[in-house]
């Protein structure tokens, strides 16, 4: 590519939480990049870019579905790299739309990769999930890419199927695919689709009771958005293929997270326990992130306190700026 030619990158689901930050980071760090976002706006919103993207001349936002062949032909023209983040996400949405979840994930990913090959795309990143691992006893943690795994949710099964699809196309040799198993990503601009941290932060800032589903001893591996984006871009820009955990490698109980948020937000909120939403909820999660740390130049920069402080401040600013009462449904 000569110096005046722009590299064209497609980000599916680019109006969503992680996608917005990936797009912002790519625009900030690369002068010669042009980004195309494909999103059906079922969750993401075009105006979520307002607070973060200062340079939108190098950005095209296309409303459409990843399963729409005609739109794929349009948006893939000239693209060299695809970040595939579009998916039905969030506990409530996944439970209420099992068929759509499977169809968007599995059929959407297959069609997208086939179209990528037709359009000579070189590199494909798949956003997969720690839900692929299924149930682990706390004694057998952390979760490692080489473990024998058995997903136990529709969403986890669909993500695992997508990873297998990527592997199959890698063997074909016409495209290079890499998949990342995200654990619990959190940070500024995350919506409330059943996500633990945004719900708790808003409840804390409103001094309302903080809801915990079940006993609260469930362990989770929370990773701040900026670290997630850094790992995502570095992994995609490498030549690695296969599956990589993108997690902090540290875990915390849901109860401790609530207590920490109350403390950091200087809130009067009380903790209340409510029944769990789905019996297959994974009890505990913790990533082994040695594979990605040892393969690319990546390290965690935000511990949970630093990440939560940034998150609380961003929601506080947002509430002050829009002078509104933000309410959670969860
Ligand atoms: N956030 C996390 O903690 C987490 C954890 C594990 C995996 N992931 C994966 O990372 C990716 C991004 O997650 P997120 O948290 O940003 O979710 P998100 O819901 O904020 O973003 C997903 C985006 O995809 C769009 N979308 C949904 N269906 C679509 C379709 N058929 N065609 C086009 N666009 C569509 C939505 O409008 C949304 O903007 C997803 O693939 C998700 O499964 C996220």
Q: 179 by DSSP, 3-state: which?
A: strand
In a domain, 20, yes or no: yes
- DSSP assignment of 104-149 equals IIIIHHHHHHHHHHHTT--EEEEEEEGGGG----GGGPSB-TTS--
CATH classification at residue 141: 3.40.50.720
Buried b (16+ CB within 10 A) or exposed e, 165-199: bbeebbeeeebbbbbbbbbbbbbbbbebbbbbbbb
In a domain, 28, yes or no: yes
Structure-block tokens of residue 282: 């994974």
Pocket test for ligand 1, best of 15, 18, 63, 71 (most atoms within 8 A of CB): 18
Span from the CA of 328 to the centroid of ligand 1 (angstroms): 19
Across the chain, mean pLDDT equals: 91
Q: What integer pLDDT is reported at residue 47 of this predicted model?
A: 65
27 and 157 co-located in one domain: yes
261 and 170 co-located in one domain: no
295 lines ligand 1 (CB under 6 A): no
| Cβ-contact 143, 133 below 8 angstroms | yes
Let me know if 19 is exposed, middle or buried by CB neighbors in 10 A (0-12, 13-18, 19+): buried
106 and 214 co-located in one domain: no
**Residue whose CA is closest, atom 34 of ligand 1?**
39
Q: What integer pLDDT is reported at residue 45 of this predicted model?
A: 74
pTM of the model: 0.94
Domain residues for the domain of 172 are 7-182+225-246
Q: What integer pLDDT is reported at residue 49 of this predicted model?
A: 52
26 lines ligand 1 (CB under 6 A): no
Span from the CA of 263 to the centroid of ligand 1 (angstroms): 30
Least confident of 89-93, 259-263, 288-292: 89-93
Place of tokens 């005046």: 4
Q: What is the pLDDT of residues 297-312, one digit of tens each?
A: 899 999 999 999 999 9
Please say if the pLDDT value at position 285 is more than 90: yes
Span from the CA of 2 to the centroid of ligand 1 (angstroms): 34
242 and 96 co-located in one domain: yes
Measure the CA–CA gap between 99 and 174, rounded to whole angstroms.
30
Q: What integer pLDDT is reported at residue 282 of this predicted model?
A: 67
Give residue 263's pLDDT band: very low, low, confident or very high (50, 70, 90). Answer: very high
Ligand 1 atom closest to residue 191's alpha carbon, by position in its atom list: 20
13 lines ligand 1 (CB under 6 A): yes
- Percent pLDDT > 70 in the chain is 90
Span from the CA of 100 to the centroid of ligand 1 (angstroms): 13
In a domain, 295, yes or no: no
- Stronger pLDDT, 74 or 321, i.e. the higher one: 74
Q: What integer pLDDT is reported at residue 330 of this predicted model?
A: 52
Please say if the pLDDT value at position 327 is more than 70: no
- Find the mean pLDDT for residues 134-146: 89
254 and 238 co-located in one domain: no
- Stronger pLDDT, 77 or 214, i.e. the higher one: 77
Comparing CA positions, the residue from 232, 218, 136 lying closest to residue 180 is 232
107 and 196 co-located in one domain: no
136 and 214 co-located in one domain: no
47 and 156 co-located in one domain: yes
Give residue 165's pLDDT band: very low, low, confident or very high (50, 70, 90). Answer: very high
In a domain, 287, yes or no: no
54 and 122 co-located in one domain: yes
Give residue 155's pLDDT band: very low, low, confident or very high (50, 70, 90). Answer: very high
56 and 196 co-located in one domain: no
- Find the mean pLDDT for residues 274-287: 78
Q: What is the pLDDT of residues 177-223, one digit of tens each?
A: 999 999 999 998 787 656 899 999 999 999 999 999 888 999 999 99
Task: Report the number of distinct structural domains present in the chain.
Answer: 2
87 lines ligand 1 (CB under 6 A): yes
178 and 213 co-located in one domain: no
- Find the mean pLDDT for residues 75-90: 96
109 lines ligand 1 (CB under 6 A): no
CATH classification at residue 277: 3.90.25.10
In a domain, 330, yes or no: no
Span from the CA of 76 to the centroid of ligand 1 (angstroms): 19
Q: What is the pLDDT of residues 39-65, one digit of tens each?
A: 999 987 766 555 556 666 889 999 999
195 and 168 co-located in one domain: no
């Amino acid at each position: 590519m000569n110096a005046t030619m722009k590299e064209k990158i497609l980000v599916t689901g680019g109006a969503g939480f992680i996608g917005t930050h990936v797009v912002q980071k790519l625009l900030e760090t690369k002068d010669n990049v042009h980004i195309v976002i494909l999103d059906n706006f079922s969750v993401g919103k075009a105006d979520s870019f307002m607070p973060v993207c200062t340079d939108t001349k190098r950005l095209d936002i296309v409303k459409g579905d990843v399963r729409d062949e005609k739109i794929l032909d349009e948006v893939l023209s000239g693209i060299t790299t695809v970040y595939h983040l579009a998916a039905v996400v969030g506990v409530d949405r996944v439970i209420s739309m099992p068929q759509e979840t499977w169809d968007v994930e599995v059929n959407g990913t297959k069609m997208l990769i086939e179209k990528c090959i037709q359009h000579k795309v070189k590199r494909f990143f798949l956003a997969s999930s720690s839900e692929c691992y299924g149930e682990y006893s706390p004694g057998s943690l952390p979760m490692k890419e080489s473990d024998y795994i058995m997903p136990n949710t529709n969403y986890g099964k669909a993500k695992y199927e997508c990873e297998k699809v990527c592997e199959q196309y890698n063997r074909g040799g016409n495209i290079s695919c890499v998949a990342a198993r995200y654990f619990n990503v959190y940070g500024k601009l995350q919506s409330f689709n059943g996500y633990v941290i945004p719900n708790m932060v808003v409840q804390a800032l409103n001094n309302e009771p903080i809801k915990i589903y079940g006993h609260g001893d469930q362990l989770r591996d929370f990773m701040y958005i900026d670290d997630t984006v850094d790992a995502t871009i570095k992994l995609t820009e490498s030549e690695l293929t296969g599956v990589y955990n993108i997690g902090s490698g540290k875990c915390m109980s849901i109860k401790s997270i609530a207590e920490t948020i109350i403390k950091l937000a200087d809130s009067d909120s009380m903790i209340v326990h409510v029944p769990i939403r789905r019996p297959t909820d994974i009890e505990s999660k913790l990533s082994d992130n040695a594979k990605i740390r040892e393969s690319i130049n990546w390290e965690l920069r935000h511990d949970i306190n630093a990440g939560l402080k940034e998150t609380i401040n961003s929601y506080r600013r947002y509430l002050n700026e829009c002078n509104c009462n933000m309410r959670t449904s969860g």
